[in-house]
Structure 1
Amino acid sequence: MAVDAAREEKALREVTSRLVEDYGEAHPAERVEAVVGAVRKRFEGHAVREFVPILVERIARRELDPKRGKNAAGQVDLSKASDGAVGGAAESPAETTSVFAAVAGRFVPVRLVENKRALGAVAAGVAVVLAAGAVLAVQHSDSPSATSAATALTTVRGVVGSEKSAFFDDPRVADVLAKHGLKVEIEPAGSRQIATSVDLGTYDFAFPSSSAAAERIQRQRGVSGKYVPFSSPMAIATFKPIADLLGQSGIVQTGATTTFDIEKYLALAEKGVQWNQLDGNSTYPVSKNVLVSTTDPRTSNSAAMYLAVTAYVANDNTIVRGTKAEDYAVSRVSRLFTRQGFTESSSDGPFKDYLANGMGTVPMAWIYEAQYVDAAAHDQLRPDMVLMYPSPTVMSQHTVVPLNDKGDQIGKLLTTDPDLQRLAAEHGFRPTDVSLFTKVTTAHQIPVDVNLINQVTPPDYDTLEHLLDGVAKSYN
């Protein structure tokens, strides 16, 4: 028989309570509850429910604690399992039995510690799955004759921009890839970090968030091929009181969508104006510089895109070319970075701070539009949160660089498979067929600018590197 809804609800409440206790110092309870709710939605409509609370906790922990997400994808410890909840104790390989079960339509390797408590806690659930025909195989670790369909999947390893982690963590994405005989394991990193300091020798593909980072990887690895399965314009996540306040200064204009004038912002920021110096400011009277929060330009593509836009505007709305123009642009925009203080290495961190901590910590965050749309589609936003489009903005081309034949297969699938393109849109990206993106934003009533007429062309690879080097020197 199937596990009834009441038992699943009870297990998920226990999961939420446990996560609130474990991550209470890092995230407010509302943030934890929102993450659990968003992850749970990924399993809606699946008939096999026995392991849903387990998988929800696993994925939620990875969302709340990125370091934990570096563990083997999809592998769930049940050494403390009870009533569908999951624990996290380690065990030795000699004590392990692997069960490959079809959970929510996806074959998931579940490690069970061979002791009475752990096996007893999940025996009923496994028996139900067996009775329903959902268990593919039960394989003992020292049984060389046993086989599993899961072993038939070819593992492909990639290092990807952190903003794409949720896409690859989606069980539906794994299902589609599994139909093609592939299992993808990813390591998230800042896109410029991928291009400059990550050892790519252990990966099958690299998936940075811009054509510039991809070009650097291609040069270093002698690779000519690349794929651009989807893109995302750069945007600014803020709050309605902040947008209203900057509207009084003429920096923000509201309409069908909200725009942010980079030229007026740059003029204000160059003067070192603080929030409490803005006329009529009663909503955010703090003694902090009026700045958009970014990532570290030395490691992250999103910050490099911020530099491309601000340098263009600083250079009299002209593409930066030549040493003189580079030096001039850096002299005007470097303080936009150095006055921020500590910045994170990838775009995932600032956006999570924005979602969790409110405008007191991050009044304005430079993000990929996809991050905001993904959060909105998964009900992670509060009513006062606002998406602003910089004017001008820049389109970030998420580019797969295949490092071997397996990586090439991934690049082709991400670009041509209709299900993967649809799922990319559901995670906020703009796939080749933009109508897929429009369908998502319309369904969830997310105000976006589909056309984005006012875009800048990023500087060429060498110029952007010189600009980034110039900003990096400003930190010293």
Structure 2
Amino acid sequence: MIEEPGFTVVGPSKSIFRRKRFLLPFGISVATALAGVIALFASGTVALPFQGITVVRGMLASKRDFFQDPEVRRILMAHRIQVHVTPVGSRDIVHRDDLDTFDFVFPSGQSMAELVYRRREGKPTNPYKPFFTPIVLATYRDYAEALEDAKVVTAQAGGDGLYYDLSVPALIGVIRGGKFWSQFKRKDQSLLKNNNRIIAQTPDPCRTYSGSTYLGLVAFAENGNQVPAGEEAALRLARDIKPLFAIEGQHGEELAPKYLAPEGRTFAPVVVIYEHQYLAHQFAEQDRTGRPDRERVLLYPDAQHETVPELLAFTPAGSRVGELVSRNPDLRRRALELGFRVFGSGGSFDDSELAAHLRRRGLPTPASGLGDTEAWLPPRELFDKMIVEVGGCE
């Protein structure tokens, strides 16, 4: 006899969401995720896509590296601001036909800012000065040692071999004298194996503030630490120093990236840059390797010139950017991390915050860069004529 098949009725299985072994980890995950979302909303990060982002158009010279920094962009985005950067040379800013279409411009120095003011006479232009940085010359350790042998530079006490004081008249002397690198010794008494003439490679003075400022430093030194009195004297001085620049050949627009590149030595032994570009490189090198780059060093001119880039705002959106970069603590901190010197209370020149940041980094503080001897540039009209004479500007 065949038995009939039997079956058992079972109750419905529990949903995976109701099983005890699932509920505990699932609940913890949900709670963690929810806490994270709440934190992001509190910081404003998640809310950004749902809020209006203001795109601010800026025309910037060499200080565009500040606005192109990812951390600066993040801080500005937290304030719902995105800066669209148009890169140009400082002198090009003044002559742009579309100048008034931008929310702000950021020339690298005071004299260029004056020309922008003149072009916009009668129109709103609000100035902001977030930071400053001196013009310096940068080279490599063995070349600095050769210049020390030539009595052109002196190592700064306490600079740990990274900073030197530069006599501009002495540098002019070896350039005029047609001296070669191979004539001078390094610290180990060996001669440099470079048969090129000693020169300082400068950015194009017709287009860049750093190039024109170095021209002004040379003119100031060559004229006995005085600015020329009148047009005739200015043009005579310009013709006198022109050969010092003509031997360089073709000028570049921005020399710091080439100098700081791994193959930088093959480009030029000595270049004119801004101090902040060198310090930012040292901070990045420390972060990457745990130690500073000891092969690259700075030369501080004996008569110094502080470049004070002015952010000139033409619109309320531009003014908002100017307010933030001048006063926001996070942006001031980031400026220090990028090698800039920030202004003290009341807008005074002050290098104490940069010095403190260098100490925290375990790096020496340069003894120069903010001193008593300042190189004065000629009045704007005379200086323009000198730049055209030396640089052959179109």
TM-score category, normalised to shorter length:
0.7 to 0.9
Equivalent residue, structure 1, for 2:326: 415
* One of 133, 139, 142 as aligned partner of 1:238: 139
Q: How far does residue 226 in structure 1 lie from its aligned partner after superposition?
A: 1.5
**Which runs of structure 2 are paired with 1:439-458 in the superposition (5 Å)?**
439-444=356-361, 445-449=363-367, 451-458=370-377
Equivalent residue, structure 1, for 2:388: 469
The CA distance in 2 between the partners of 1:150 and 1:397, in whole Å, is 37
* One of 97, 100, 103 as aligned partner of 1:204: 103
Look up the SS of the partner of 1:265 in the other structure: helix
Q: Structure 1 counterpart of 2:375, which letter?
A: V
* One of 106, 121, 127 as aligned partner of 1:226: 127
**Which runs of structure 2 are paired with 1:221-370 in the superposition (5 Å)?**
221-222=120-121, 223=123, 224-256=125-157, 257-278=163-184, 282-345=190-253, 347=254, 350-356=255-261, 357-370=263-276
Q: How far does residue 264 in structure 1 lie from its aligned partner after superposition?
A: 0.8
- Kept in 2, the 8 Å contact 1:393–1:454? The answer is yes
Q: How far does residue 435 in structure 1 lie from its aligned partner after superposition?
A: 2.9
Look up the SS of the partner of 2:196 in the other structure: coil
- Deviations along 1:255-292, whole A, 9 cap, x unmatched? 22411110011122123333234478854333322111
The CA distance in 2 between the partners of 1:211 and 1:238, in whole Å, is 26
Q: How far does residue 135 in structure 1 lie from its aligned partner after superposition?
A: 12
Equivalent residue, structure 2, for 1:154: 54
The CA distance in 1 between the partners of 2:198 and 2:204, in whole Å, is 18
- Residues 1:168 and 2:67 are matched in the alignment: yes
Look up the SS of the partner of 1:206 in the other structure: strand
Q: How far does residue 153 in structure 1 lie from its aligned partner after superposition?
A: 1.4
- Kept in 1, the 8 Å contact 2:325–2:332? The answer is yes
Question: How does the TM-score come out when normalised to structure 2?
Answer: 0.77
Q: Structure 2 counterpart of 1:218, which letter?
A: Y
Q: Structure 1 counterpart of 2:205, which letter?
A: P
**Distance change >3 Å, CA 332–CA 214, structure 1 → 2:** same
- Kept in 1, the 8 Å contact 2:140–2:269? The answer is yes
The CA distance in 1 between the partners of 2:330 and 2:39, in whole Å, is 25
Look up the SS of the partner of 2:234 in the other structure: helix
Gaps (5+ residues) in structure 2?
1-32, 42-46, 158-162, 287-291, 345-350
- Residues 1:459 and 2:378 are matched in the alignment: yes
The CA distance in 2 between the partners of 1:452 and 1:230, in whole Å, is 17
The CA distance in 2 between the partners of 1:178 and 1:158, in whole Å, is 15
Look up the SS of the partner of 1:439 in the other structure: helix
**Distance change >3 Å, CA 197–CA 335, structure 1 → 2:** farther
- Kept in 2, the 8 Å contact 1:136–1:148? The answer is no
- Kept in 1, the 8 Å contact 2:61–2:106? The answer is yes
Q: How far does residue 448 in structure 1 lie from its aligned partner after superposition?
A: 1.7
- Kept in 1, the 8 Å contact 2:183–2:192? The answer is no
* One of 68, 91, 94 as aligned partner of 1:192: 91
- Kept in 2, the 8 Å contact 1:431–1:437? The answer is yes
- Deviations along 1:52-91, whole A, 9 cap, x unmatched? xxxxxxxxxxxxxxxxxxxxxxxxxxxxxxxxxxxxxxxx
The CA distance in 2 between the partners of 1:132 and 1:283, in whole Å, is 62
- Deviations along 1:353-410, whole A, 9 cap, x unmatched? 1122243322111110010111111117632111110111211011111122221222
**Distance change >3 Å, CA 252–CA 148, structure 1 → 2:** closer
The CA distance in 2 between the partners of 1:289 and 1:354, in whole Å, is 18
Q: How far does residue 324 in structure 1 lie from its aligned partner after superposition?
A: 2.5
The CA distance in 2 between the partners of 1:240 and 1:279, in whole Å, is 12
**Distance change >3 Å, CA 324–CA 440, structure 1 → 2:** same
Gaps (5+ residues) in structure 1?
1-128, 138-146
The CA distance in 2 between the partners of 1:198 and 1:389, in whole Å, is 37
**Distance change >3 Å, CA 212–CA 219, structure 1 → 2:** same
Name which one, 1 or 2, has greater alpha-carbon Rg: 2
Equivalent residue, structure 2, for 1:437: 354
Question: How does the TM-score come out when normalised to structure 1?
Answer: 0.65
**Distance change >3 Å, CA 236–CA 299, structure 1 → 2:** same
**Distance change >3 Å, CA 136–CA 463, structure 1 → 2:** same
The CA distance in 2 between the partners of 1:283 and 1:353, in whole Å, is 25
The CA distance in 1 between the partners of 2:295 and 2:301, in whole Å, is 19
The CA distance in 2 between the partners of 1:341 and 1:150, in whole Å, is 54
Aligned residue pair count: 335
Larger relative CO (CA 8 A, sep 6+): 1 or 2? 2
Equivalent residue, structure 2, for 1:371: 277
- Deviations along 1:176-227, whole A, 9 cap, x unmatched? 3234332212122221222234632331110011011111111112255322
* Worse-superposed segment, 386-395 or 315-324: 315-324
The CA distance in 2 between the partners of 1:289 and 1:301, in whole Å, is 25
Q: Structure 2 counterpart of 1:464, which letter?
A: F
Q: Structure 2 counterpart of 1:441, which letter?
A: L
The CA distance in 1 between the partners of 2:48 and 2:39, in whole Å, is 10
**Distance change >3 Å, CA 148–CA 258, structure 1 → 2:** closer
Q: Structure 1 counterpart of 2:307, which letter?
A: S
- Deviations along 1:307-328, whole A, 9 cap, x unmatched? 1111111112102231122122
The CA distance in 2 between the partners of 1:284 and 1:319, in whole Å, is 36
Equivalent residue, structure 2, for 1:114: none
**Which runs of structure 2 are paired with 1:84-103 in the superposition (5 Å)?**
none
- Kept in 1, the 8 Å contact 2:168–2:221? The answer is yes
The CA distance in 1 between the partners of 2:91 and 2:190, in whole Å, is 39
- Kept in 1, the 8 Å contact 2:280–2:339? The answer is yes
- Identity, in percent, stands at 28
